Amino acid sequence: MSAWQVIGMLVGSVVLIYMIAQLLRAPGQALMGVLRGLIVGVVALFVINLIGASFGFHIAINPFTAATTALLGLPGVAALVVINVWMV
């Protein structure tokens, strides 16, 4: 294993431990963050679908897209748009 792989695993482990500690310290805030991301993401998808309807562009709102937008927020919506444009 190279030194860069070890450094990457150490950094990833520290970030994961930090995220778990934040979740355990304030679970309500984490839940509110996911809920806020879900609402913003679904509204953004709805607006994109309204505007994109005139261009023949559509992103389905299903559990996968809702989870993506809930966890990633607007960057998740942007990723879904890029994936849709790239794959279709």
pLDDT at 78: 92
- What is the arithmetic mean of pLDDT over 76-88? 89
pLDDT at 54: 92
Rounded to the nearest 10 degrees, the angle between the axes of helix 3-25 and helix 27-52 is 100
User: Rounded to whole angstroms, how far apart are CA atoms 34 and 24?
Assistant: 15
Confidence (pLDDT) at 87:
86
pLDDT tens digits along 60-71: 888 888 888 888
- For 54, which DSSP code? G
Q: How far is CA 64 from CA 8, 60, 82, 86, in A?
A: 28, 9, 15, 18
